[in-house]
Amino acid sequence: MNAYAAFAKIYDRWQEALGTPFSHLILPKLDRTIEKHHIKVESMVDVACGTGTLALVMAGRGIRTFGIDLSEEMLKRAKAKVRGRNLPLTLSRQDMRNFRLATRVDLTTCFFNSLNHLLTFEDLLDTFRSVHEALKDDGYFIFDLNNRRCFKALWTKTSVAHQEDFTLIMENHFDPGSHLARASLTIFQRKGKTFWREQDMIQERWFLDGEVRRALRNAGFQVVEKQNFNPFSHLPFKGLKSFWVCRKVSSRYPPANEKLIGC
């Protein structure tokens, strides 16, 4: 999984360079989904909350919100946004595969292909089990994933983002055989009159729908809705990502040493 040590320093400005930040792009879809399925949200956790953009919006609505992320650098920026604001928001550094909350919540979200950072089926299953434990009975889990179309379209070329204070070169590679993708990041960031060079690495995995469904089922979730979508209006591709709406239906999931249920 990724530390985002260097990338975090320009992460928000990189999203602005691309257009609207992803959390703002996904928010209308999340709101429509909550309304469509009559989900009562008084508390929630945003898993892999990053710099806290979505968590801040939800907490600003009066929802008791938790945000967890593995990257200390990303959380540092999230905490800076919260500082001085009286919001019902708790941020903590935790691994999505084994996180714990002080209280159970109505909703868990995990967006911007954060689950693709998990590189094995076992990691995906462990994460779903942690989400299951964090939810109240009949609670909802809403997330997205990059699909094969996305990796083939966007993870096979080099991209460059440039702003006055930084330049990001992202060299992407996707191996359909192993389902693994890698982005090598070279970042030039202005400090005074000098540009400093840093590097970072992002790894992701393409999960088959069958793998996702199997992990959800074994973690005690029912898939309520699944659709493909493209949130990026500037990209001429259909269905780059999958959007999943799941409900906790079992108070118990099979322990690690039990045989897993098939798809």
Nearest to 143 by CA among 219, 225, 71: 225
Q: What pLDDT, on the 0 to 100 scale, is given for residue 22?
A: 78
pLDDT at 259 > cutoff 70: no
What is the count of structural domains for the chain? 2
The verdict on 184 and 96 lying in the same domain is: no
Q: Tell me the pLDDT tens digit for each residue of 59-106.
A: 999 999 999 999 999 999 999 999 999 999 999 999 999 999 999 999
Domain with 216 in it: 7-148+207-248
The verdict on 141 and 87 lying in the same domain is: yes
Residue at 241: amino acid letter: K
Q: How far apart are CA 249 and CA 139, in angstroms?
A: 8
The verdict on 180 and 134 lying in the same domain is: no
Q: What is the CATH number of the domain that holds 194?
A: 2.20.25.110
DSSP labels, 59-125:
HHTT-EEEEEES-HHHHHHHHHHHTT---SEEEEE--TTS---SS-EEEEEE-TTGGGG--SHHHHH
Report the pLDDT averaged over residues 175-201: 94
Q: What pLDDT, on the 0 to 100 scale, is given for residue 3?
A: 62
Asked whether residue 258 is assigned to any structural domain, the reply reads no
pLDDT at 1 > cutoff 50: no
Asked whether residue 133 is assigned to any structural domain, the reply reads yes
Higher pLDDT: 179 or 251? It is 179
The side-by-side arrangement of strands in the sheet containing 241-248 is 89-93, 64-69, 43-47, 105-110, 135-146, 241-248, 221-229
Report the pLDDT averaged over residues 172-198: 94
The verdict on 85 and 114 lying in the same domain is: yes
The verdict on 90 and 196 lying in the same domain is: no
The verdict on 199 and 112 lying in the same domain is: no
Asked whether residue 19 is assigned to any structural domain, the reply reads yes
Q: Tell me the pLDDT tens digit for each residue of 199-237.
A: 999 999 999 999 999 999 999 999 999 999 887 766 667
Asked whether residue 75 is assigned to any structural domain, the reply reads yes
Q: Is residue 242 a contact partner of residue 206, using CB atoms and an 8 Å limit?
A: no
Q: Tell me the pLDDT tens digit for each residue of 22-34.
A: 788 899 999 999 9
Angle at 174 between CA 169 and CA 178, to 5 degrees: 145
Q: What pLDDT, on the 0 to 100 scale, is given for residue 254?
A: 64
Q: What pLDDT, on the 0 to 100 scale, is given for residue 192?
A: 86
Percent of the chain with pLDDT over 70: 92
The verdict on 185 and 213 lying in the same domain is: no
Q: How far apart are CA 111 and CA 42, in angstroms?
A: 19
Q: What pLDDT, on the 0 to 100 scale, is given for residue 124?
A: 99
pLDDT at 18 > cutoff 80: no
Tell me how crowded residue 171 is: count the other CB atoms within 10 A of its CB.
13
Q: Could you tell me the pLDDT band of residue 13, with boundaries at 50, 70 and 90?
A: confident
The verdict on 174 and 78 lying in the same domain is: no
Residue 165: what are its φ and ψ, rounded to 5°? -105, 0
Give the 3-state secondary structure of residue 251: coil
The verdict on 240 and 217 lying in the same domain is: yes
The helix (run of H) or strand (run of E) holding residue 31 is: helix 22-36
Asked whether residue 218 is assigned to any structural domain, the reply reads yes
pLDDT at 258 > cutoff 80: no
Asked whether residue 130 is assigned to any structural domain, the reply reads yes
The verdict on 141 and 160 lying in the same domain is: no
The verdict on 99 and 211 lying in the same domain is: yes
Asked whether residue 263 is assigned to any structural domain, the reply reads no
Mean pLDDT of the chain: 92
Asked whether residue 120 is assigned to any structural domain, the reply reads yes
Residue at 23: amino acid letter: S
Q: What is the CATH number of the domain that holds 98?
A: 3.40.50.150
